[in-house]
């Protein structure tokens, strides 16, 4: 019979499996999402990410994540009860 040698890591593993099960196939990211409201959005984002990568190297991903979270915060401030 198997024993639990490290309960916290086992719990994390089971939690990840559970979350993966419920989130499977529910991705809301899609290409051309802003094609009608802002046709140049994807080109602008691509250009900015490329500039960040050339300027900051491997830390460009962190910059993109920070920019994304800033956008999410601004949206939530606009609709605080969502």
Digit-coded pLDDT (tens) for 10-30: 676 776 766 665 655 555 667
- Domain extent for 78: 33-82
CA-nearest of 75, 55, 54, 52 to 65 is: 52
Has residue 43 got a pLDDT over 70? Answer: yes
| 66 found inside a domain | yes
Q: If you average pLDDT over every residue of the chain, what do you get? A: 67
**In Å, how far from its chain's centre is CA 48?**
17
* Per-range mean pLDDT, top range of 11-15, 27-31, 37-41, 73-77: 37-41
| Per-residue model confidence (pLDDT) at position 59 | 73
Task: Please indicate whether residue 31 or residue 1 has the higher confidence score (pLDDT).
Answer: 31
Task: Please indicate whether residue 65 or residue 74 has the higher confidence score (pLDDT).
Answer: 65
**In Å, how far from its chain's centre is CA 17?**
19
User: What's the domain count of the chain?
Assistant: 1
Catalytic residue numbers?
69
Vertex 74 angle, CA 33 and 79, to 5°: 85
């Amino acid at each position: 019979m198997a024993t639990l040698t490290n309960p916290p890591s086992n719990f994390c593993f089971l939690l990840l499996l559970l979350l993966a099960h419920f989130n499977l196939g529910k991705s809301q990211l899609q290409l051309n999402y802003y094609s009608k409201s802002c046709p140049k959005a994807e080109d602008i984002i691509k250009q900015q990410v490329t500039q960040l990568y050339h300027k900051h190297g491997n830390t460009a991903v962190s910059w993109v994540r920070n920019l994304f979270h800033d956008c999410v915060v601004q949206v939530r401030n606009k609709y605080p009860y969502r």
